[in-house]
């Protein structure tokens, strides 16, 4: 199962963690794992390459952990929020369609 944790502060996404595998299909043919990974990776690449932000992140087999809580947003808060909320909507849709393979958890931080 893929577990997605979305951490928010004041309603804004400040961190996301995608961990695990869907095991929907054979390795290299798992469309659920591919969709989740593509959404998170595309978002991270947009943050790094287009917005030129430097979040604290880890990217490895079965794990994407990206934290924005303590970074300089360089005036890109609106753009960052658009990227993150777009990713969230995509992952939310996948988790609803494949609820036995993907679990989305949101947490509001104080």
Looking at residue 50, which CATH number applies to its domain? 3.30.70.1490
pLDDT at position 88 is: 98
pLDDT at position 109 is: 86
pLDDT at position 67 is: 97
Q: Which domain holds residue 64?
A: 2-109
Residue numbers of the chain with a pLDDT score lower than 50: none
Cβ–Cβ under 8 Å, residues 2 and 19: yes
pLDDT at position 37 is: 96
pLDDT at position 27 is: 83
pTM: 0.94
pLDDT at position 84 is: 98
Number of domains within the chain? 1
């Amino acid at each position: 199962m893929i577990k997605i944790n979305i951490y928010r502060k004041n309603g804004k996404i400040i961190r996301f963690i995608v961990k695990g595998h869907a095991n929907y299909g054979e390795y290299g043919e798992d469309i659920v794992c591919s969709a989740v990974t593509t959404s998170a990776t595309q978002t991270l690449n947009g943050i790094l390459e287009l917005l030129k932000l430097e979040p604290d992140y880890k990217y490895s087999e079965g794990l994407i952990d990206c934290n924005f809580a303590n970074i300089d947003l360089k005036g890109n808060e609106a753009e960052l929020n658009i990227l993150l909320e777009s990713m969230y909507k995509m992952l939310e849709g996948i988790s609803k369609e494949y609820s036995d393979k993907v679990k989305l958890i949101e947490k509001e931080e104080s």
